[in-house]
Amino acid sequence: MLPVARPCIDRWYHSLLWQLCCVITLAGLVLTQQVRAQSIPLSLPSQPGSEIIEVAIDGEIFPTLGMPSLSLPPAIRRFAVYMNPGQPRRRKYILEGIDTQWRENTCQMGIRVRFFNDKGEPVEQEIESVIGETQDWNGSLEKPVFVPRKATVTAPPGARSLWLIITSGGGPPDTLGTLLVKGLKITRTRDGGTPEVVMRAPVGNDARFSPVLPAPNGFVADGIRPKMARLLTLAPASGDAQGEQCFALIDDDVGAHAEWRTVKEDALAVIEGDQLEIEWSQAHSVGGGTLSVQDYNNPAPGNYKLRVQPVDLQGLPNGEETTLMISVLPPWWKQRWVWTLTALIVGVLAFALSRYIAHQRLREELNRMKEAALRKAEVEMNRMARATTLGEFTASIAHEISQPLTAMTTNASTCLRWLSPERCDIDEARAAAQRIIGDGDRAVQIIMRIRALLAKDKPIRESSSINAVIEEILPLLTTDIRKRGVKLECDLSADLPEVAIDRVQIQQVVMNLVRNGLDAMNGIADRPRVLRIHTGREAEAVSVQVEDTGVGLSSATIERLFDRFFTTKPEGLGMGLAICQSIVASHGGRLVARPAEGNGAIFLFTLPIE
């Protein structure tokens, strides 16, 4: 049975071996000609360890040294964050509190348009770079989300040909990520003519590069690592449809780059001024791989959290997240302790001010009460002084009153004699009666002055002659002057203007000054006792000067002469000169004292002319 079965086994064995070889060959051809989306590895290897983070302010570096937080000085206008991984990798970062979305450092993955002149030298190039992830794309290559893009360029002077390059970088900054480009179309408009489609890609495969690298017509994979540039066949929308091809750059090496570029022989011919409209659709997830730097300007005081998250080529988390708390201190005038201290100081000052105001009010009230008491005492002392003065010159008043009364009696007797039948003379009797009336008026004036001196009513000021006021009181002082053996000299200037005064008060001042001068000359025996009264004019005022030849005044006495209750006389009350100064001041004048030349003292007061 074995010889019979061997031919069947050999045929079956060779047929199975041949079929297996065909399947392996076809699979190898498929894998070398085009790459299906579901077979591409897109994950970067997870890198252990955290980021090295440093913060710079005005060029000065503040290393974190692995600390979880860092405090920045107040009132800074700008600071920069440096993020450096232990090994190159793609990552995102966000400063919570300032940034509203995740950031990535810049890269150069995108589409370039490079123009050449007749000598094959590059003239100019323009770049359309991308960064981050296409919105709403979850990173799956089976169903990428494409976004249409468009750019317009103009051929520069000297341009003769054009290369279109889809690149993953080629220089710093380093790039990691995935870029898919499909539906590439270039429309040329020359001299304002009709737009013409001059390129579509990717379409078909170029057999010149098979089976080493798959390539569409007119494009070639290039770069340091060309294998990162692939032609990707997308999954069809339905089972019967054919999968669409797209250019794919899957850059997982920060030290290398790859690109799709136009084949030199198939470069697009252009001339100066050609308008080229480039349209394509792309899906991207791109970021930097090494050092990241981010500036932040005018940060508000507060606490911020820096998060650095490693991600893979599709932007999905892929490693340990690094965090750093950054505190920007407020200016000193905005810090809580300053406001607390300010509130405390303001409170203390307010309390001190309230106490000071209360003290001042109490002091003012005490002063007011004191002034009121002094004014009351002054009024009473004034009345007492008037009564005392009245008692002292009662004899002089009696003498003055007795004189007009005696004259009235004599004139009345004379009038009766002239009216008798034996000696009837009407004219002489009339003259005697007139003299009786004059003597009566004189007696009435004396009595009125005495009443005014003792009255408590407010005096009424009237225009008066200062000389007449003095002359009215001299008769009242004559007796006392004569008893003390004093010579009275009056020098009353003529033609002095009248002044508005209270006659009784001014008479009191003159009488007080005269009596002080008489008292100062008591006991003087080595020189004549002379009392001089002089009136005159000083600018817009009338002056009255009383001078004596008494004991005089010392400088210490002059300083306190007008103080209340200060006196140099054993029996004095110390109120006379204070009252005199108050009366003169109430009339708008001034009262001063000074030593006389030789011996004695001079008291001078002025009254303003009305």
Name the residue range of residue 513's domain.
Answer: 460-608
Q: By C-alpha distance, which of 603, 241, 573 is closest to 388?
A: 573
Rounded CA gap, 288 and 88, in Å?
A: 9
Backbone angles phi, psi at 285, to 5 degrees: -145, 95
Average pLDDT over every residue of 591-604: 87
Regarding whether 589 and 448 lie in a shared domain, the answer is no
Residue 22 lies in a domain: no
Are 199 and 185 in contact by the 8 Å Cβ rule? The answer is yes
> pTM here?
0.46
Same domain assignment for residues 548 and 572 = yes
Residues 467, 432 share a domain: no
Average pLDDT of span 592-608 = 88
Residue 322 to residues 62, 93, 265, Cα–Cα distance (Å): 17, 9, 50
143 and 120 within one domain: yes
For residue 344, is it within any domain? Answer: yes
Regarding whether 589 and 468 lie in a shared domain, the answer is yes
Query: What is the spatial distance between Cα 294 and Cα 55, in angstroms, rounded to a whole number?
Result: 10
The mean pLDDT of 288-301, rounded to a whole number, is: 79
Same domain assignment for residues 317 and 281: no
Do 276 and 316 fall into the same domain?
no
- Collapsed DSSP state (helix, strand, coil) of residue 283: strand
CB 229 within 8 A of CB 221: yes
In the predicted structure, residue 349 carries a pLDDT above the cut 90: yes
Lowest mean pLDDT among 190-204, 307-321, 410-424, 552-566: 552-566
Shared-domain flag, residues 72 and 176: no
Mean per-residue pLDDT for 472-476? 75
Within a domain: 37: no
Nearest to residue 202, comparing CAs of 163, 247, 261? 247
Confidence of residue 571 (pLDDT cuts 50, 70, 90): low
CA 565 vs CA 150, 377, 560, 568, 574: distances in Å: 109, 11, 10, 10, 4
Which among 427, 456, 485 is the end of a domain?
456
The residue-averaged pLDDT of 232-255 equals 77
For the stretch 64-117, pLDDT in tens is 767 788 888 777 778 888 777 766 677 888 999 899 888 887 777 888 899 999
What CATH number is given to the structural domain containing 519? 3.30.565.10
Domain assignment present for 419: yes
| Backbone dihedral region for residue 557 (phi beyond 0: left; psi -120 to 50: alpha; all else: beta) | alpha
Residue 529 has pLDDT above 60, yes or no: yes
Residue 9 is assigned to a structural domain of this protein? no
The pair of three-digit structure tokens given for residue 459, joined into one six-digit string:
């005096």
Q: Please report the DSSP string for 499-530 in residue order.
A: EEE-HHHHHHHHHHHHHHHHHHTTT--SS--E
125-129, 182-186, 203-207, 461-465: the lowest-pLDDT one:
203-207
Residues 131 and 270 in one domain: yes
In a domain, 402, yes or no: yes
Q: Indicate if 130 and 265 belong to the same structural domain.
A: yes
Instruction: Tell me what the mean pLDDT of segment 506-520 comes to.
Output: 84
Question: How much is the pLDDT for 237?
Answer: 66
**Taking a C-beta distance cutoff of 8 angstroms, is the pair 180, 247 a contact?**
yes
Q: Is the pLDDT of residue 305 over 80?
A: yes
Spatial separation of the C-alpha atoms in residues 259 and 110, rounded to whole Å: 10
pLDDT tens digits, one per residue of 23-68: 444 444 333 334 444 434 455 555 555 677 888 887 777 777 677 8
CATH number at residue 73: 2.60.40.10
- Per-residue confidence (pLDDT) for residue 1, from 0 to 100: 40
Assess contact for 391 and 450: CB atoms under 8 A: no
Higher pLDDT, 153 or 427: 153
Phi-psi region of 388 (alpha: psi -120 to 50; beta: other; left: phi over 0): alpha
CB within 8 A of 338, min separation 6: which ones? 332
Q: Which of 288, 306, 323 is the last residue of a domain?
A: 288
325 and 385 in a single domain? The answer is: no
> Which domain-ending residue is among 439, 456, 473?
456
* Nearest Cα to Cα of residue 70 among 91, 103, 95, 93: 95
The rounded mean pLDDT for the chain is 78
Residue 511 lies in a domain: yes
- pLDDT at residue 6 is higher than 70: no
Residues 399 and 297 in one domain: no
* Count of domains observed in the chain: 4
Asked if residue 580 belongs to a domain, the reply is yes
